[in-house]
Structure 1
Amino acid sequence: MSEQHVDVLIVGAGVSGIGMACHLKRECPGKSFTILERRDSLGGTWDLFRYPGIRSDSDMYTFGYSFRPWTSGKVLADGPSIKRYLGETAAENDVEKHIQYGVAVKRAEWSGTDKRWTLTTEKEATGETLTFTASFMIGCTGYYNYDAGYKPDFPAESDFKGRIVHPQHWPEHLNYEGKRVVVIGSGATAVTLVPTMAEEAEHVTMLQRSPSYLIPLPSNDRLAMLFQRLFSATTAYRLTRARNVAVARFLYNRSRRNPGIMRRLMLRLVRRKLDGKADMRHFSPTYNPWDQRLCVVKDGDLFTALRSGKASVVTDHIERFTEQGVRLKSGQELEADIIIPATGLDIQMLGGMDLVVDGHPVVLRDKLVYKNVMVEGVPNAGMLFGYTNISWTLKVDIAAEYLCRLLNHMDAHGKRVCVPRDTGDSRGEGTVMGGLDSGYIRRADDRLPRQGSHGPWKVTQNYLADVKTLRFDPIEDGYLEFDGTRPVETTAPPTGFFQPLKSALFGS
C-alpha cells in the first residue's frame, strides 16, 4: 500500500474534472493536485458512450470551456470530437501529467483532527490498494452510474431470440445492416440512435410510452462562422456564447411562464418538419415544456428518417417480449432482430464512493447543497454539478472559479478548514436536479442531495444569477464556517448593474 498527498484531489477526468484542473492551473498555480480517473482514458461520458451518432445535445459554444474557444462551425459535435477537444484542452493546460488512470475511489474519510481527506482506492487492473490524502477534495464524477444504465425488467425478456443491446454498453462491431431494430425510449439517446441506425437498418421503430418535446437545430451555425471570419477566435467565441446563453435563457423562462404558447410553437415546428408523414399524437407530450429536458434533433434527421419510411414511432406500453420482438398492450407486435432499451440512466452521486466525516457516514439525501458547489456539513469539499436546462459546462466553469476563489481566500487568511452550515431551517422539497420531473430523477429521489428554500441553499438553474453569486459575492457570506469559527457575513463590494451581465455573457 502506498500513500500520496496533494493540496487538491479531483475525482473524475471528464468534462468537469478537466475543467476544474485547468482552472486550478490558471488561478491557483501554487496548488499541487491529482486527478483520479477510474477509466483508462479521459473524457468521462464522451469516452464511455460509443453508440452510433453519439453527440452533444447542447450547443458547443456554451458546452465548450470559457477559456478555450470551440472554433468549429458545428453547433452539435459528435462524441469523438468532444473527447478530442477535452484531450487537447488537458494537453494545452498541462494537466495530463496529473491524471492517474484506472483508479477507483472506494471511500473518502475526513478527519477533523488531521484536517485532511483520506481516500481509499483500488487499482482495478491489479486489485492494488492505493491511499491518497488531500487538504481539499472535489468530486467531478457526474451524476450517473458508469457500470450500468437503467433498464426495466421486461416481462418474458429471455424469450426474445434476437439481441438486446443497452446504449451504455455498445458492442464495438455491432452489425445492424438490413436488420429490424426497435429502440425503446423517447429521450435524447433514442432521438439520436433512430435516424443514425435507419441509414443502414431495414427499419427502425422508436417505441415510447409517452412523447418528448423535440427541437430541430441545424448542425452548422452560420452566424458563428461569420463571427469567426470577422473577429479573433476569442471574440467570436464570446459573441456566440453570449447570443446562445441569451437565447437559451429566453426560451427556458418563456416556457416556464407561458407554457401553452411555447407548447404550440414547438409542436408547430415539428408538424412542419413531418410534413404530414406521421401522426402528431406521437409528438405531443402531456407535460409542459421543460418539465423534462428538451430533445434536440440535429438537422431534423429524425424527421427525415420518418418521412422516408425508414423509421417510425409507436406510442404504447410493452405487454411482454416474444421470440420475434415485442408485444404491446394494444395487441400489436413489433418484430425485431435487435432491441435497444434506451431507457435512461441510473443516478449515482460521487461515483458511488462512501463518504465519511469524522467517523459518521454522510447520507446525501439528508444534506443541502450550498451554492450547488458544496455540501452542508462536509468540510473542504466541492462538487461540480452542471446545469440541466442549459449547457452543463457553463456551471462547471463558474463553479470551478468559485472553488479557486475559496482556496485563495483561505490561503490569504490563514484558514485550513471551511464547511457550509445551515444556521436556519432552510430545507426545501426539491433535489439538486432542480425542477425536472424525468423518470430517472424520480427514481433517484433517495440518492440526491436536497436544495433549500432560499439563499445559497436554493438551486436556481439561472446562469446570470449564479455568475453574480459565484464570481462576485463575498466568500464569507454568513454560511461558511472557517476553522470552527461562527460564520461571518461581509458586505459585497459594489459591482454595478452591468458587470455581472457582462461577465456572464463575455467572460471574466
Structure 2
Amino acid sequence: MAAHKEMPDFDVIIVGAGISGINFAYRIQESNPDLSYCILEARHEIGGTWSLFQYPGVRSDSDLYTFGFAWRPWTGKHSIADGSSIRQYLEDSAAQEGIDRRIRFSHKVNRLNWSSSSNMWTFDISTQDAKMISLRSRFVFLGTGYYDYQEPLRASIPGIHNFEGKVVHPQFWPVDLDYTNKRIVIIGSGATAITLLPSLTTRAAHVTMLQRSPTYIASLPSQGAFETIVSKVLPCFAANRVIRLKWMLFSFFMVSICRLFPRAAKSFLLRETAKLLPPDFNLEPDFVPSYNPWEQRLCFCPDGDFYACIRSGKGSVNTGMIETITASSVKLTSGKELHPDIIVTATGLKLCTAGGITITVDGEPYEISNHFAWRAAMVEGLPNLVLSWGYVDASWTLGADSTAQLASRLLTRMRKESVSAIVPRMMAEERQALEERPFLALKATYVKNGGNAFPKTASTGPWQPRSYFWRDVTIARWGDVKAGLEWLK
C-alpha cells in the first residue's frame, strides 16, 4: 500500500476470531506475508458462534469437511460435529499457523471512522478492564457474522410474560439449568430446535417441539462409508481433498436438484421422512412443509437422532398457533394445551451486520443497509472495508473463503499499484436500470423480518448476490475487480 506521513498501527485489522476471521488471517499470511495485522475479538476466546452458543447438543448444521478450512482439513470421524469439537478445531488451526499470537481478546470495537485525509480507519475499542483505546489501520476485514451477539431475537409470543416456569433462549443457555425429569416445550422448528429435541430428551421427562409450520429434516450418516473407504485407500492428503470435493459436489447438486425439480425433491424427502417415523405414522400435519425444499434452509440430523427420540416416545412434534401462554400452560388456537415446566424460545436469531459497530465516514454516519454490496464483499461508499458472509445453501466457510481470497487479491494489487484506497461506486445509470434482489435468498420468518440489516443487492453486474462457490471463487481469483470499484492513489 502507498506510504503516508501518518502511520497506522496495522496495515489490516480483522474484527472477529471465529471461522471468518481466522481464515482471513491465514489468507493474509499466505498472499501478503509482509503486511502487519491483528485480530480484535470481543470475547475471551477463539470461536465466535462456537464460543457463544452453549445449549445442549449444539452442533454444526453443515458438514465439517466443507465447514472446515481448505488449508487444514477436518479429519474427525463425524461429518456433523458438536460445538466444543468445532471450537477446539478452530483453536488448533489458529495455533498451527501462529494466528493465535495476533489475537487481542476482550477487545470490543464500538466505532469505526474512515478519514479521507489520512486514508485510514480509526477504531474506538473498549477492553475488559473498561479502558477505551484507539487503533488505526489502512484496511478492515469484518468477520463479525450475521446476527447480534448481545441480544437474542425477541419473538412475539402471546402471554409469554405470564409463564411462571423457566423461559430460556438458546443463545444464552443457563449453565446451571437442571432439566432432569422436566417437561419442556421448544417453540420453533429450525436447526436449533431440531438439535435441542434429541439432546434434551436424554434427561427430560418429555420434550415437545411446537411449530407454526413443518420443516424438512433429512437424516445424514455421521460416519459415511465413502469417507471410510477413501481414507483407507488414499494417502491422507489426497483423501482429505477427495472427501472435501465429494461434500462440495453433494451440497451443490442437492440444492440444484431441489430448485430445478421441487416436486420430485419434496416427494423424495417426505418418503425418507416416513421411513424414519413410527409405522403407520401420519406425516400430516407435522412433517409436510408448505414450501419447497431450500426455500428455507434444509435441516439435517445425524443418524436420524431427531426421529429416533420421536419413536422412543420421549419427544414429539406439535403443529399449531399459540393463542396464549398462562402461568402453567401453552394454549393453542386448536384448543389443545401443553403443560411445560420449561419453555425454550428457539425462534431464530436477531440479524445484524458488522457486529453492531457504529460506522462513520469522515464523521458522517453510514448505514450499510442503505447501500449496495459489491461482489457480496464490500459496500458502496465504504473504502478499504470487506465484510465476510457465508452461504445459506452451503457451508458458511466456503463463502467466507471466497471473500477472503478476493480481499487478499485486492490487497496485493493495492500494494503493487501504490493505491491508498479502493471504494465501490455505483454509476447513476446503473442505479436506474437495476432490479433489487434480497441479500439472503431464504423465506424463513426471522430472515424476512430482519432482512433490512443487510446491504442491498441487484440483478446485474458486481452488485449481484452470492451464487455458488465455484463461480464466486473464480471471480475472486481471476474476475474483474475494476468494474464498480474506484482505485485511488
Report the TM range for the smaller structure's normalisation.
over 0.9
Q: Write the mapping of 1:102-501 to structure 2, written as runs, cut at 5 A.
A: 102-123=106-127, 125-276=128-279, 278-281=281-284, 282-423=286-427, 424-425=430-431, 427-433=434-440, 435-475=441-481, 477-483=482-488
Output the CA distance in 1 between the equivalents of 2:299 and 2:460. 30
Alignment check: 8 A CA contact 1:4 1:131 kept: no
TM-score (norm 1): 0.92
Structure 1 residue 94: Cα displacement: 0.4
Return 384-393 or 220-229, whichever deviates more.
220-229
Matched-pair identity in %: 38
Alignment check: 8 A CA contact 1:215 1:297 kept: yes
Alignment check: 8 A CA contact 1:293 1:389 kept: yes
Q: CA RMSD in A?
A: 1.5
Output the CA distance in 2 between the equivalents of 1:364 and 1:4. 25
Task: Confirm or deny that 1:67 pairs with 2:71.
Answer: yes
SS of the residue 2:418 aligns to: coil
Give the residue type in structure 2 aligned to 1:436: L
Output the CA distance in 2 between the equivalents of 1:78 and 1:461. 28
Return 224-233 or 322-331, whichever deviates more.
224-233
Question: Any idea what the Cα deviations from partners look like across 1:377-434, whole Å, max 9, x if unmatched?
Answer: 211111111111000101111211111111011111111111112222264322322x
5+ residue gaps in structure 1?
485-508
Could you tell me which residue of structure 1 aligns to residue 31 of structure 2?
Answer: 27
Could you tell me which residue of structure 2 aligns to residue 13 of structure 1?
Answer: 17
Structure 1 residue 221: Cα displacement: 2.1
Output the CA distance in 1 between the equivalents of 2:460 and 2:249. 25
Return 223-232 or 255-264, whichever deviates more.
223-232
Structure 1 residue 474: Cα displacement: 4.2
Return 289-298 or 354-363, whichever deviates more.
354-363
Decide whether aligned partners of structure 1 residues 4 and 410 sit closer, same or farther in structure 2, where only a CA change above 3 A counts.
closer
Decide whether aligned partners of structure 1 residues 427 and 41 sit closer, same or farther in structure 2, where only a CA change above 3 A counts.
farther
Name the count of aligned residue pairs: 479
Structure 1 residue 227: Cα displacement: 1.7
Question: Any idea what the Cα deviations from partners look like across 1:191-230, whole Å, max 9, x if unmatched?
Answer: 0000111111111000000011111101112211222222
TM-score (norm 2): 0.95
SS of the residue 1:57 aligns to: coil
Alignment check: 8 A CA contact 1:210 1:285 kept: yes
Alignment check: 8 A CA contact 2:372 2:456 kept: yes
Give the residue type in structure 2 aligned to 1:165: V
Question: Any idea what the Cα deviations from partners look like across 1:177-197, whole Å, max 9, x if unmatched?
Answer: 111010110000000000111
Structure 1 residue 364: Cα displacement: 1.5
Could you tell me which residue of structure 2 aligns to residue 497 of structure 1?
Answer: none
Decide whether aligned partners of structure 1 residues 427 and 50 sit closer, same or farther in structure 2, where only a CA change above 3 A counts.
farther
Output the CA distance in 2 between the equivalents of 1:17 and 1:427. 32
Alignment check: 8 A CA contact 1:427 1:450 kept: no
Question: Any idea what the Cα deviations from partners look like across 1:293-335, whole Å, max 9, x if unmatched?
Answer: 0111111011111111111110001111122221111111101
5+ residue gaps in structure 2?
1-6
Decide whether aligned partners of structure 1 residues 48 and 349 sit closer, same or farther in structure 2, where only a CA change above 3 A counts.
same
Alignment check: 8 A CA contact 2:405 2:473 kept: no
Output the CA distance in 1 between the equivalents of 2:319 and 2:13. 47
Alignment check: 8 A CA contact 2:374 2:380 kept: yes
Question: Any idea what the Cα deviations from partners look like across 1:140-165, whole Å, max 9, x if unmatched?
Answer: 00000011221324333232221111
Alignment check: 8 A CA contact 2:148 2:352 kept: yes
